[in-house]
Amino acid sequence: MRASVIAENRYCMNSGTRAAIWTALVAVIVLVVGAFVAVRYVIPNLTGQLTQTTTTEDSANAFVRGQYESAKSAHDTLKSVSPAYAKANQLRLAGKYADAAKAYRSALVGVTDVAQRTEIKFWLAFSDSVSGNYVDAVAMYKEIAAASTTLSRLVRAHAVQNLALMYYRFGDPVITKELFKSYPYKRFYNPKYIPLSYRNVFDYAASLYPLALAEAYSAEWYANRLLAGTTTRPDYKVVIREKLQLAEKDIESVRNDASQRNTFLIALERRAVVLGKMRRIGDTSFADPDEAFKELLNYYVTSRMNNDGTARLQYAYYLVRAYGKDRAADIQDVLAPLIVAPNGRDVVVDAFLKNERLNRLGARSNLALLASIDPAFKELLQSYGWTETDLRIN
């Protein structure tokens, strides 16, 4: 019996061994077949996903290019077929913005093409805003922004962005009153905190399309909160980084587009401003603001544009706040072209330096600090009506 028990145990062990071997073989076969399936089907599918992502990005870039090319085509066509439009452009380039606005209104008459009408409306709103006709400028930008059935989200985003940018260019409370008096903008309004109201408008523009300027201005609001010490929330830095990444992506899409040169330069300026504020709070994980400002000013030189006044002011703000008198010579070099009229200052800087004596945008202390370091800049402010009281450093 013992022998039969041993034999039975040996049989059971052999059966178990055979079962284990078969199980292992089946597992190997499954793995091999699975690997083959992965190579045959999964990898091509992953490649397809990458191709799809690339195709999506290419399509998005093509869409953006198409929108700007359409605007440029409309502009070129109008110049050749519309005497009123050609005259309006001449007046605008000559700095006669109120007259240009009248000519653009005349150019609208009889034009039925959507792209051409939109091009005229953008320049009309711009001319109205620069000439101080903020009521009509706001109304026109709102009209463009609301045209959801005829215009793309990108075009409408530009109109919304320009509504907020108008305030930061001119600082007139009339702009705020007109902008937030009706929906959808009324829901963005916070009477106790105007900067938040405008951040909401920039965010609305970015929700339509992530334009660099809107994203950078929104990022600056968060940077201002950190710089003022009113919050230490770490998620603000995450938001700032994400917004700057979106801004840089849009900047790259228009870097070589001559028709978008002005918007490109303003976006670069605002990006540099945000980087400067992050450096001032001690965060060196972002890009170097000095290099960003130098790149910006170099673009003005290479593009032969002399309207770099706001860029120079912003660079000087950063230098004086970050380094003070230690970089007085650099500050004076940056501001020097602003002292030489008329080429050093455009209409935007002129209006800003006149109006900011009233501290409409909260920049008076920055300007007064610059005046304390640069005597020539102090004389310039005094030529705009600044008094010793206005120039007092708080």
Q: What is the Cα–Cα distance from 100 to 85, expressed in whole angstroms?
A: 9
The HSE-up count of residue 332 (CA atoms within 13 Å, CB side) is 11
Domain boundaries, the chain: 1-46, 210-305, 329-394
Contact 216, 173 (CB under 8 A): no
DSSP 95-162: T-HHHHHHHHHHHHTT---HHHHHHHHHHHHHHHHHTT-HHHHHHHHHHHHT-TTTS-HHHHHHHHHH
Contact 196, 141 (CB under 8 A): no
Encode the chain (394 residues) as per-residue pLDDT tens digits. Answer: 333 332 333 333 344 444 443 444 334 333 333 433 333 333 234 334 444 545 556 666 777 778 888 888 999 999 999 999 999 999 999 989 999 999 999 999 999 999 999 999 999 999 999 999 999 999 999 999 999 999 999 999 999 999 999 999 888 999 999 999 999 999 999 999 999 999 999 999 999 999 999 999 999 999 999 999 988 889 999 999 999 999 999 998 888 887 788 888 999 999 999 999 999 999 999 999 999 999 999 999 888 887 899 999 999 999 999 999 999 999 999 999 988 865 556 778 888 898 899 998 889 999 999 999 999 999 999 999 999 999 998 7
pTM of the model: 0.80
Q: What is the Cα–Cα distance from 198 to 358, expressed in whole angstroms?
A: 19
Q: What is the Cα–Cα distance from 218 to 387, expressed in whole angstroms?
A: 33
Contact 131, 351 (CB under 8 A): no
